[in-house]
Amino acid sequence: MGRKPKETGTIHNRLAVLRAERALSRQQLADAIGVNFQTIGYLERGDYSPSLELAFRLSEFFDLPIEAIFAREPFAPMTRESLVREEAP
């Protein structure tokens, strides 16, 4: 058996959109989940992938499932997603 390939994939997220929806500053979100405001910026920019624990904290804070906030593939724009949902029977 060969060596397991090192995973280097980026974790995409919707933090910036969710934060803007709730009119929160980075500092406010950072204070709410107990991290530095720079970390929120790094998460939004994709410079840092969160631990499972931090992902759960964000999920609880936004009251959304983790997969609604984080994904391994880039998210489609939210407007398009909501339109598709509305058109579905």
Helix (H) or strand (E) holding 62: helix 52-62
Rounded Cα distance, 1 and 59, in Å: 37
Site for another protein contains 26 (CB under 8 A): yes
Q: Give every CB contact of residue 75 below 8 A, 6+ residues apart in sequence.
A: 12, 13, 14
Establish if 51 lies at the interface with another protein (CB under 8 A).
Answer: yes
Output the smallest distance, CB 10 to another protein, in A.
13
Tell whether residue 61 is a contact of another protein (CB under 8 A).
no
22 is a site residue for another protein (CB under 8 A): no
Site for another protein in 30-49 (CB under 8 A): 34-39, 41-42, 45, 47-48
Q: Which among 75, 82, 86 is positioned nearest to 16, based on CA atoms?
A: 75
User: What are the residues binding another protein (CB under 8 A)?
Assistant: 25-27, 34-39, 41-42, 45, 47-48, 50-51, 53-54
